[in-house]
């Protein structure tokens, strides 16, 4: 961590591309598909529009041509009915109607092509084909050049008899005039129409681009737009093919830069076709609308989706941030908490190449400061402490508050780590909070992290263990975790992993330390003591009992030992008729469960041992635990008939008031007092203890008596029982039986 709060900062939201990008891509693809779909729709729309225009043009053309044909038929009918004597009568009669039917002139010719026109021209040798000489119906010719003027004309013709002679009536129309009927300019003149025949020859061109005669439309398009692209050529060929087969169709083709929509449709007369052509640019409105709509829709959808994504992401991130804060940030110091430390230290350590250290730190007598200045003040104090730590530590560090007043720090430092330690002590020895100067003394456990250390819990444990070495002494404010400590730790680990196995393998055994009456120096009972025989070595209880107490294994072991004692008592009773009182150590860990004694009762009953032969030793320190109602528990134990002794008396600082409430049978004065005993002085502390015990009416056992001098002194004080090496070290069960065999024990067990 480079900055103090960098891991809780959410100032700059970063777009989370990991999931927003795929969504964006999906939306883009959907937009593209949608865009194409709308484009297809629009094209279909344009196709429909242009088809309709083509249809209308065809219908219009049909109507006009049929009207003109009808007019010709009407004339022929009248002629056939014999209304007219000669050509000029016919011409005169229809002179007025000609104009209104868009005809230029009439001509009546014989088979050889000779005759007159209605406007007074003489025609000679006009090339008349059979098509023209049709008696049944009106024939409409393709474009041709007028023999009278240079204009393009079309001829409507039908044969008839006049005065018994075969004649043919020509009604001619300027091709130009068709344009007016036919070619309503489409889209302000940008679009237009061609009338072509089956061979593709252009009859009428509304664009006025084609001046020559007999121009092929397909070639014209290909040449005009220099079409070389095969795909485009194929489209043109397709049209040509379809027209040959009298088909109708619509398609689009890009020529030069513009796209053209083309519709072709059979007129139904003379295999003529109407080709409607509209460039896309002419339909700009429709296309622009389409582009605007589809782009608008795409942009809108994209914006909405991205908006939603960002919204979700931001709210997720802020939710995560809140969760993160709750899970990883210590609200008092705004440093990381224990979780943060445990989850991030490993990664942090992996990145460091130099010397890496861990320091755990706590304030001495923090409880007193807390009760003196109050909770809020102490929170501020911890906050300032956190800030100060950050200030003085090497830049590359993780600093967290683990709990209460305990901080853990990991950092990299290549010079002498004592410099860092000194800096920390110097800087936080005086802290100012709310204008109050507090002098702080701290304890630090320091451990140089090895390359092989990978488990952060173990690393942390080492720093904690190191710190514990100074607690209470305060002679130094730091302790470096050293090899001696490492070895002790390894031993602990070894013990912890093997205890369950050991119980199964019966590695735990009892020995008994006899207790002697001061009066007659005879044995009055014994204390059972456990030994662990492991791989040929004997492990003494002080090396494993504290460990077992840490993980509750002591509960099992105590019951196991108690059961062995019951077995032995039952055996001794049977074999030697001996009714000894044996004391058994009961760890205070049992007291967590108020009903623990039931198990003891069950076992005693199982071996049919009288509970009055059993004395349970509880340490004085067990009686001062505030969380346990000792009075209630002791009373319960007593109610089952067990005797109770208070072990290590004088070391536990229990109050006299409390002791008086406890129905204790025996007080065991600890060895330390025997060692310190000043035999000459009446003011010896043992004197007072004996006084207290006597006042309470309990038996007194003095432990750890090693010399005759000590034994005499104890006797002189009027103590009842001595347990010590002077009389006997703890002995095997078999050695105990020597005493029993000889009936060499005091009859009066209650002294």
- List residues near Ca ion by CB under 5 A: 585, 617, 647-648, 703
Question: How many alpha carbons fall within 13 Å on the CB side of residue 52?
Answer: 6
Stretch that binds ligand C2E, among 134-142, 378-386, 534-542, 594-602 (CB under 6 A): 534-542
- Interface residue with ligand C2E among 228, 473, 542, 681 (CB under 6 A) is 542
Taking the complex as a whole, the smallest distance from the CB of residue 470 to ligand C2E amounts, in Å, to 26
Looking at beta carbons only, is 433 or 672 nearer to ligand C2E? 672
For the record, the structure tokens of 404 come out as 């209460």
Looking at beta carbons only, is 197 or 528 nearer to ligand C2E? 528
**Binds 304, which of Ca ion, ligand C2E, none (CB < 5 to 8 A, cut-off by type)?**
none
The two beta strands, 165-174 and 152-162, are antiparallel
Phi, psi of 201 (to 5 degrees): -75, 130
Looking at beta carbons only, is 420 or 530 nearer to ligand C2E? 530
Taking the complex as a whole, the smallest distance from the CB of residue 429 to ligand C2E amounts, in Å, to 40
CA distance 355 to 451: 9
- Which residues, numbered 240-269, are part of the site for ligand C2E (CB under 6 A)? none
Contact yes or no for 253/262 (Cβ under 8 A): yes
Closest CA to 584 of 555, 615, 609, 623: 615
Neighbours of 383 (CB within 10 A): 18
Stretch that binds ligand C2E, among 185-193, 278-286, 541-549, 624-632 (CB under 6 A): 541-549
Give strand ranges (E) for 371-461.
397-403, 406-412, 430-433, 436-439, 442-449
Taking the complex as a whole, the smallest distance from the CB of residue 703 to ligand C2E amounts, in Å, to 6
568 contributes a contact to ligand C2E by CB under 6 A: no
CA distance 129 to 112: 10
Torsion of CA 729, 731, 737, 740, to 10 degrees: 20
DSSP 640-702: TT-EEEEEEETSS---HHHHHHS--SEEEE-HHHHHH--TT-TT-HHHHHHHHHHHHT-EEEE
648 contributes a contact to ligand C2E by CB under 6 A: yes
**Binds 470, which of Ca ion, ligand C2E, none (CB < 5 to 8 A, cut-off by type)?**
none
558 contributes a contact to ligand C2E by CB under 6 A: yes
- The contact pattern for ligand C2E, residues 600-639, with x = CB under 6 A and - = no contact, is -----------------x----------------------
587 contributes a contact to ligand C2E by CB under 6 A: yes
For the record, the structure tokens of 495 come out as 């013990």
Looking at beta carbons only, is 108 or 530 nearer to ligand C2E? 530
663 contributes a contact to ligand C2E by CB under 6 A: no
725 contributes a contact to ligand C2E by CB under 6 A: yes
Stretch that binds ligand C2E, among 84-92, 146-154, 310-318, 721-729 (CB under 6 A): 721-729
Q: What is the CA radius of gyration of the chain?
A: 60
Q: ∠ CA(387), CA(391), CA(395), 5° rounding?
A: 125
- Which residues, numbered 458-517, are part of the site for ligand C2E (CB under 6 A)? 513
CA distance 382 to 366: 10
Looking at beta carbons only, is 163 or 542 nearer to ligand C2E? 542
Stretch that binds ligand C2E, among 276-284, 373-381, 535-543, 659-667 (CB under 6 A): 535-543
531-537 CB contacts, 8 Å cutoff, 24+ apart: 532/502, 532/507, 532/508, 533/507, 533/508, 533/509, 534/498, 534/502, 534/507
- Interface residue with ligand C2E among 336, 525, 650, 704 (CB under 6 A) is 704
Phi, psi of 244 (to 5 degrees): -60, -35
Looking at beta carbons only, is 473 or 542 nearer to ligand C2E? 542
Stretch that binds ligand C2E, among 161-169, 174-182, 632-640, 703-711 (CB under 6 A): 703-711
Q: Residue 256: which region, alpha, beta or left (left: phi > 0; alpha: psi -120 to 50)?
A: left
Task: Map residue 661 onto helix, strand or coil.
Answer: helix
For the record, the structure tokens of 68 come out as 């003109």
706 contributes a contact to ligand C2E by CB under 6 A: yes
Looking at residue 242, what DSSP letter applies? Answer: H
Taking the complex as a whole, the smallest distance from the CB of residue 663 to ligand C2E amounts, in Å, to 20
Looking at beta carbons only, is 89 or 625 nearer to ligand C2E? 625
Which positions lie near ligand C2E, rule CB under 6 A? Answer: 513, 529-530, 540-542, 545, 554, 558, 561, 585, 587, 617, 647-648, 671, 703-706, 723-725, 730
């Amino acid at each position: 961590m480079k900055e103090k709060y960098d891991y809780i900062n959410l100032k700059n939201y970063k777009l989370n591309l990991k999931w927003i990008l795929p969504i964006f891509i999906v939306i883009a693809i959907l937009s593209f598909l949608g865009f194409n779909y709308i484009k297809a729709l629009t094209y279909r729309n344009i196709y429909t529009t242009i088809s309709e225009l083509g249809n209308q043009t065809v219908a219009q053309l049909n109507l006009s041509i049929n009207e003109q044909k009808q007019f010709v038929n009407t004339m022929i009918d009248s002629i056939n009915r014999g209304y007219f004597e000669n050509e000029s009568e016919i011409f005169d009669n229809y002179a007025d109607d000609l104009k209104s039917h868009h005809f230029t002139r009439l001509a009546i010719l014989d088979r050889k092509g000779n005759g007159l026109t209605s406007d007074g021209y003489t025609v000679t040798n006009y090339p008349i084909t059979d098509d023209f000489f049709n008696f049944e119906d009106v024939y409409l010719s393709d474009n041709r050049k007028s023999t009278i003027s240079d204009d393009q004309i079309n001829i409507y013709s039908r044969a008839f008899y006049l005065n018994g002679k075969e004649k043919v009536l020509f009604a001619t129309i300027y091709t130009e005039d068709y344009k007016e009927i036919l070619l309503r300019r489409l889209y302000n003149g940008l679009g237009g129409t061609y009338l072509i025949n089956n061979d593709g020859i252009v009859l009428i061109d509304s664009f006025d681009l084609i001046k020559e005669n007999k121009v092929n439309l397909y070639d014209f398009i290909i040449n005009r737009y220099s079409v070389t692209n095969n795909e485009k050529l194929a489209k043109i060929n397709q049209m040509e093919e379809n027209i040959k087969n009298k088909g109708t169709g619509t398609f689009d083709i890009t020529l030069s830069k513009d796209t053209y929509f083309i519709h072709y449709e059979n007129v139904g007369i003379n295999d003529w076709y109407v080709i409607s052509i509209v460039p896309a640019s002419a339909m700009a409105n429709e296309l622009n609308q389409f582009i605007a709509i589809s782009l608008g829709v795409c942009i809108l959808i994209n914006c909405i989706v991205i908006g939603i994504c960002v919204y979700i992401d931001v709210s997720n991130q802020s939710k995560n941030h809140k969760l993160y804060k709750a899970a990883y940030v210590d609200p008092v110091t705004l440093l990381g908490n224990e979780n943060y430390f445990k989850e991030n230290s490993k990664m942090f350590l992996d990145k460091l190449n130099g010397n890496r250290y861990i320091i755990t730190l706590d304030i001495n007598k923090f409880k007193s400061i807390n009760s003196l200045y109050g909770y809020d003040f102490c929170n501020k104090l911890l906050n300032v402490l956190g800030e100060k730590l950050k200030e003085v530590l090497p830049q590359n560090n993780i600093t967290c508050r683990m709990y209460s007043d305990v901080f853990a720090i990991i950092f990299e430092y290549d010079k002498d780590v004592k410099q860092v330690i000194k800096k920390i002590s110097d800087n936080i020895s005086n802290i100012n909070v709310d204008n109050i100067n507090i002098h702080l003394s701290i304890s630090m456990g320091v451990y140089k992290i090895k390359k092989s250390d990978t488990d952060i819990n173990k690393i942390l444990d080492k720093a904690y263990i190191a710190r514990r070495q100074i607690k209470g002494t305060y002679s130094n404010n730091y302790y470096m975790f050293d090899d001696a400590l490492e070895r002790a730790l390894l031993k602990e680990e070894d013990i912890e992993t093997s205890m369950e196995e050991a119980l199964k393998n019966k590695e735990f055994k009892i020995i008994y330390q006899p207790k002697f009456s001061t009066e007659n120096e005879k044995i009055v009972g014994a204390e059972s003591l456990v030994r662990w025989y492991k791989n040929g070595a004997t492990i003494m209880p002080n090396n494993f009992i504290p460990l077992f107490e840490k993980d509750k294994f002591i509960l099992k072991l105590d019951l196991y030992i108690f059961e062995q004692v019951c077995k032995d008592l039952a055996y001794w009773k049977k074999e030697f008729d001996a009714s000894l009182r044996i004391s058994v150590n009961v760890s205070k860990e049992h007291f967590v469960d108020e009903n623990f004694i039931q198990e003891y009762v069950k076992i005693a009953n199982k071996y049919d041992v009288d509970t009055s032969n059993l004395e349970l030793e509880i340490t004085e320190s067990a009686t001062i635990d505030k969380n346990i109602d000792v009075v209630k528990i002791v009373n319960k134990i007593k109610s089952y008939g067990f005797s109770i002794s208070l072990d290590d008396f004088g070391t536990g600082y229990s109050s006299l008031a409390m002791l008086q409430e406890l129905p204790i049978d025996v007080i065991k004065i600890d060895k330390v007092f025997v060692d310190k005993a000043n035999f000459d002085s009446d003011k010896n502390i043992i004197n007072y203890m004996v006084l207290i015990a006597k006042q309470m009416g309990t038996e007194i056992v003095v432990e750890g008596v090693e010399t005759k001098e000590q034994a005499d002194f104890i006797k002189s004080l009027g103590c009842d029982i001595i347990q010590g090496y002077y009389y006997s070290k703890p002995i095997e069960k078999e050695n105990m039986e020597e005493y029993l065999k000889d009936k060499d024990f005091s009859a009066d067990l209650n002294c």
